Amino acid sequence: MSVEGLLRVGRGRLLKQTVETAQFAPFGYRRDGWLGSENLQADVIDARRRSGPVRARRWRRVRRARPGHQCADDPVGRGAGQLVESATVMPRVVFVLVRSVTVGVMRFGRFQSGDQAMWGCVHDEVILRLSHAPWDSRSIRTGEEIDPAAVRLLAPAEPSKIVAVGRNYADHAAELGLATAERPRIFFKPPSAVIGQGETIVLPPQSAEVHHEAELAVVIGRRCRNVPSDRVSGVIAGYTCANDVTARDLQRRDGQPSYAKAFDTFCPLGPWLVTDLPAGCRVRCRVNDVLRQDGEVADMLTSVTELVAYISEAMTLLPGDVVLTGTPAGVGVLVAGDTVTVDIPGVGELTNPVDAAR
């Protein structure tokens, strides 16, 4: 990702003196302020004293930074830091305007330990606990390191709404015998449908034909409305895997998808929230280790950025809201005893068992 932002260099009294603390916060959205990747560089174009009060809670500490060198530490893990350039001498605090910052992909997750749910950053197979959701401006690393074996993985979002799009892949529309839509066909799934990694998809007695639908899910990280497509990346917290489980016979009966997709457990999400998509991203689904779906994100009729922009023209999107971006061809029936996996390389593998209602 590349963003504009400010690099705050603190307590430096002499030009080129070792900087003991350096902090970064983006223009606009907090997520890009998280450091700790394998690749982070800043292109410095100006230095200035910032006027007005500083919202200190929006800054994160990075230790052992020197002008012209990369930081050795960061607030999330043990990865590379960011490039610091010499700045004009100013009392106590110098703000350096940064044109672009390149940050590697990071993985965040929600976990449960006992009765407590928490957020963390997954780094070197250790969970580094966060005080709040990663898109929250108050979020800091607490210093607690957690063994993944000691916690249960939860869905990486608690949405107020789940906004989905139908027929966003031409081959999927064709397999259903339907025409592609001139504009995105939007519908909703209730938050009560969300389950996480390893939780059971329950087949309702009302349906005899429940289908899997592997999808890329977008998690919103900033309250937004009427977002231009060229600014959508600034409101996205990250991406995860989704299974838009559907009672296909009920969908055909009703002529619309909402009821058929609304059952409890019909929206598995997970396992992680990742901050960027790999090039050539694919969406795959396996049932009992047999490949059923395999499509390219690039084949979407409406791209992720266009879709989020279109949805935001009608409604306010809130942090944690989820956008389901459509499924490629290959949807098929799930039966009790199946194990279904949504696999998006670079994002994760979401696996859920399937059982009948009891």
The string of pLDDT tens digits covering residues 102-151 is: 445 789 999 999 999 999 998 878 999 999 999 988 888 898 999 999 99
Using the predicted structure, report yes or no on whether residue 169 has a pLDDT greater than 50: yes
Spatial contact of 284 and 342, defined as CB atoms under 8 Å apart: yes
- Cα–Cα distance for residue pair 272/142, rounded to 1 Å: 20
- Cα–Cα distance for residue pair 234/227, rounded to 1 Å: 9
205 or 73: which carries more pLDDT confidence? 205
- Provide CB contacts within 8 A for 330, sequence distance 6+: 175, 285, 292, 293, 294, 295
Using the predicted structure, report yes or no on whether residue 94 has a pLDDT greater than 50: no
Share of the chain above pLDDT 70, in %: 71
pLDDT at 12: 27
- Cα–Cα distance for residue pair 33/25, rounded to 1 Å: 5
Spatial contact of 283 and 215, defined as CB atoms under 8 Å apart: yes
Whole-number mean pLDDT of the chain? 77
pLDDT at 4: 31
Nearest one of 15, 10, 214 to 94, comparing CA atoms: 10
- What is the number of other CB atoms lying within 10 angstroms of the CB of residue 79? 20
- Write the DSSP symbol of residue 351: E
194 or 58: which carries more pLDDT confidence? 194
Distance of CA 335 to the CA centre of its chain: 30
pLDDT at 342: 98
Using the predicted structure, report yes or no on whether residue 304 has a pLDDT greater than 50: yes
pLDDT at 285: 98
Alpha helix segments (H runs only) across the chain: 170-175, 248-254, 304-312
Using the predicted structure, report yes or no on whether residue 68 has a pLDDT greater than 70: no
35 or 171: which carries more pLDDT confidence? 171
pLDDT band at residue 335 under the 50/70/90 scheme: very high
pLDDT band at residue 219 under the 50/70/90 scheme: very high
The reported pTM is 0.75
